[in-house]
Amino acid sequence: MLTVYRHNNLSGYIFLLPLFLFMAGFVLVPVVGTLLNSFYKDVPFLQSEFNGLDNYRSLGGDSSFWQSLRFSLLFVMAAVPLELLLGMVFALVLHKATNSKALLWAAVLIPWAIPSAVSARIWELIYNYNYGLANFVLTKFGLTTEPINWLGGSFSAFWAVTVADVWKTTPFVAIIILAGLQAVPDDFHESAKIDGAGFIRRFFSLTLPLLKPVIVVALLFRTIDSLRVFDVIYVLTGGGPGGATSALSLYGYEYYLIGDFGYASTISVVLFVIAMALSILYVRFSRFERE
């Protein structure tokens, strides 16, 4: 009996070996390499020099880093709840829709199918000061007398970037939640209806608790993605105006671009630690691991 048990265990490890090798080669090695590089002064044409925690000390006194960190966290707090709310609404509509379902699917999925750089260019045209759609609609309906420089002010640029990202990524959340909705047996809803529960009560007492694991997964993916947002900001604002929309990933990229690989690695490590900490918090807070 013991021999059979060991044989089954060995077979299991053999089947998992390709996954372990893939994770080690494409995840673990880059992470460890970046962590080690953050302890070095690594610039072109000079030999790398170990400088311990100097990069981290410099980061603590770097006002641009704190500005990027503040933007990244605010961006997550603004974009992720909006994506979750809109994704839930779209998922409920798609789940209940009987007519024109294919058309609704296409309307929801198109933003997600468009490459990020292309969608950012579309929003750049929408926000254009002289001929953009946003200013055209606002002035047409008399909501403003002067065109708004959407990408020229800190506050407006923040929300311009956030709206563009929410438009692009909400379909992803909707698909995940829709998969969860379709897994909920109809019998539960029918029994609740017989007991006299209305739509609102069924949603908060039945649907939402059953969707909890799915919502946690969507939150996890979107939080990590929002933390490392890059392409939308790079195309729309380039981090401006005055660094007001410079996310941590963009700030680190700028140091990679000028060849300060050690300092750029330090920024990447901080971003990784924040993403990891938030992921652990989500899992612990939701008790997802026990379900």
3-class secondary structure, 131: coil
Q: What percent of the chain has pLDDT over 90?
A: 44
- Whether residue 167 is predicted with pLDDT greater than 90 in this model: the reply is yes
pLDDT digits (tens, 9 = 90+) for 19-42: 888 888 888 898 899 999 999 988
Q: Report whether 222 contacts 84 (CB < 8 A).
A: yes
pLDDT digits (tens, 9 = 90+) for 43-70: 888 888 888 899 999 998 999 999 999 9
Task: Place 288 in a pLDDT band, splitting at 50, 70 and 90.
Answer: low
84 pLDDT exceeds 70? Answer: yes
Q: For residue 271, what pLDDT is reported?
A: 93
Positive or negative, the Cα torsion across 282, 283, 287, 288? positive
Residue 234 has pLDDT above 90, yes or no: yes
Q: Cα separation of 181 and 188, whole Å?
A: 12
Check residue 247 and give left, alpha or beta (phi > 0: left; psi -120 to 50: alpha). beta
The residues that bridge with 50 in the sheet, in sequence order, are 40
- Return the pLDDT at 2: 58
What digits encode the pLDDT tens for the residues 109-158? Answer: 888 888 888 999 999 999 999 889 999 999 988 888 888 999 988 999 99
Query: How far, CA to CA in Å, does 3 sit from each of 6, 9, 10, 16, 17?
Result: 5, 10, 11, 20, 21
pLDDT in tens, 253-263: 999 999 899 99
Taking 60 as the threshold, does the pLDDT of residue 289 lie above it?
no
Query: Helix count (H) and strand count (E) of the chain?
Result: 15, 2
* Contact present, 221 and 280 (Cβ < 8 Å): no
Look up residue 134 and give its two tokens: 């946003």
pLDDT band at 3 (very low <50, low <70, confident <90, very high): low
Q: Would you tell me how many other CB atoms lie within 10 Å of the CB of residue 60? A: 9
